[in-house]
Amino acid sequence: MQRNASTRYPILLVHGLFGFERIGKFELFHDIRQALRNAGARVFVPYLSAPHDNEVRGDQLLSQIARVLQRTDAGKVNLIGHSQGALAARYAAAIAPHSVASVTSVSGPNHGSELADFLRKALTPGCLPEQVADTVVTLFADFLAALSNNRYQPRTAIAALNALTTEGVGAFNDKYPQGLPATWGGKGRGRVNGVHYYSWSGVLQSNVLKEGMNALDPLNTFCRALSAYFVTEADQNDGLVGRFSSHLGTVIRSDYALDHLDTIGQPTGQLRTGVDPIELYVLHAERLRDAGL
């Protein structure tokens, strides 16, 4: 059956930490953009600083939204942000609601990440380990940027880390609360200042045997190892973000059997049986279309 995801407004897929559009033939949003285009959507992937704070990345996103609007002659855009990309999308919608039709958070740390909290405590501010970590990670981000022709500067790993902690996101939320739930684990307002808010995310399976063939995925093993550093959401996280921390606006679902990297349709995710992360994006684009967005 022919799918129809021809949304009224263009879709921007906003990457998170260490994200990029393409390196060689590899796209970060593996097969997602093409699936959306096949279903009739206009899709763009903006360039943002791989590691930086939410507001710097949000300002970069705003400038690219303006270019997409000019290029397409559209009045607004639909923003779908993965991980930290959700925070940049939220910032853009809060600053320029007239340019944003919807914000969709996919595995977004909308209340911070316990993993970021652990790393922040492990790296004492101003001490040598923090400085070394900042240098190494920022150089890695520079390397990725060179490979992907990402022209945005500057990049700073510590700014990104601070922006993803519970404290850092809490300060961000105080300034940009649109779509946030009033209670932990609840849903937020589905529409604020004319902008529609949605979210979805996944959780690791409690028993690795339930993962099936996906247990052979090295990225799933990586997420499962990071999951050990969660306390508040110890059994309810995707390896990088807690289930309830991801809630924003209309919560479509926050317990898909998907790890943090599955939700951008990574190639190794093809080992997974059950939910198809790429299909979730097409279904959501159809949801946006049906809402007149």
Dist CA 267 CA 27 (whole Å):
10
User: Is 99 known to be catalytic?
Assistant: no
Q: Is residue 146 scored above 90 in pLDDT? A: no
Q: What is the pLDDT of residue 48?
A: 86
Nearest to 108 by CA among 177, 152, 185, 164: 164
Distance CA 205, CA 82 (A): 20
Q: Which of 238, 247, 254, 259 is catalytic?
A: 238
User: Which of the following is catalytic: 199, 260, 262, 284?
Assistant: 260
- Residue 228 tokens read as 């050990």
The pTM of the full predicted model, rounded to 2 decimals, is 0.87
Q: Which of 30, 31, 83, 107 is catalytic?
A: 83
User: What pLDDT does 128 receive?
Assistant: 44
What is the identity of the amino acid at 53?
Answer: D
Residue-wise pLDDT for 171-182, tens only, equals 999 999 999 999
238 is known as an active-site residue: yes
Rg (CA), the chain: 18
Q: What does the pLDDT look like over 48-102, one tens digit per residue?
A: 887 788 999 999 999 999 999 999 999 999 999 999 999 999 999 999 999 999 9
Contacts of 30 (CB under 8 A, 6+ apart): 264, 265, 266, 267, 269
Is the bond preceding 154 in cis, omega lying within 30 degrees of 0? yes
Residue 183: CB atoms within 10 A of its CB come to 9
Quick: pLDDT tens for 8-44.
999 999 988 755 555 445 566 778 988 999 999 999 9
CATH code assigned to 11-290: 3.40.50.1820
127 burial class (0-12, 13-18, 19+ CB within 10 angstroms)? exposed
Average pLDDT over residues 131-155: 52
Nearest to 96 by CA among 70, 66, 71, 73: 66
Mark whether 111 is an active-site residue.
Answer: no
293 has pLDDT over 90: yes
* Structural contact between residues 114 and 233, judged by C-beta atoms closer than 8 angstroms: yes
How many residues are recorded in the chain? 293
DSSP-assigned letters across all residues of 261-273: TGGGT-GGGGG--
Give the pLDDT mean for 122-143: 53
| Alpha-carbon span 178 to 288, nearest angstrom | 19
Residue ranges of domains in the chain: 11-290
Burial of residue 173 (CB within 10 Å: 0-12, 13-18, 19+) is middle
pLDDT(105) > 80: yes
